[in-house]
Amino acid sequence: MTANGTEGRLGEEFFTPGTSSFARFLAAHRPELLPTRSPLPAGTVAAPDAFPHGTTVLALAHRDGVLIAGDRRATMGNLIAQRDLEKVHPADDHTAVAFAGTVGLALDMVKLYQVELTHFEKIEGIPMTLDGKARRLATMIRENLDQAMQGLAVVPLLAGYDPKAPEGARGRIFSFDVAGGLYEKRAFHAEGSGSPYAGGALKKLYRPGLTRREAALVALQALYDAADDDSATGGPDLNRRIFPLVSVITEDGFERLPESETADLTREMVAQRQSRPDGPGAES
Q: Catalytic residue numbers? A: 55
Angle at Cα 45 formed by Cα 31 and Cα 134, nearest 5°? 50
Q: Which amino acid appears at position 79 of this protein?
A: L
List, in sequence order, the alpha helices (H) in the chain.
22-29, 103-124, 130-142, 145-149, 195-205, 212-229, 259-275
Ramachandran angles phi, psi of 76, nearest 5°? -135, 95
What is the DSSP secondary-structure string of 252-282?
Answer: TEEEEPPHHHHHHHHHHHHHHHHH-TT-PPP
Instruction: Name residues whose C-beta falls within 8 Å of residue 18's C-beta, 6 or more positions apart in sequence.
Output: 24, 25, 28
Q: How far apart are alpha carbons 53 and 72 in whole angstroms? A: 11
The closest of 158, 183, 159 to 171, measured between CA atoms, is: 159
**80: helix, strand or coil:** strand
Ramachandran angles phi, psi of 140, nearest 5°? -65, -40
Angle at Cα 126 formed by Cα 124 and Cα 130, nearest 5°? 110
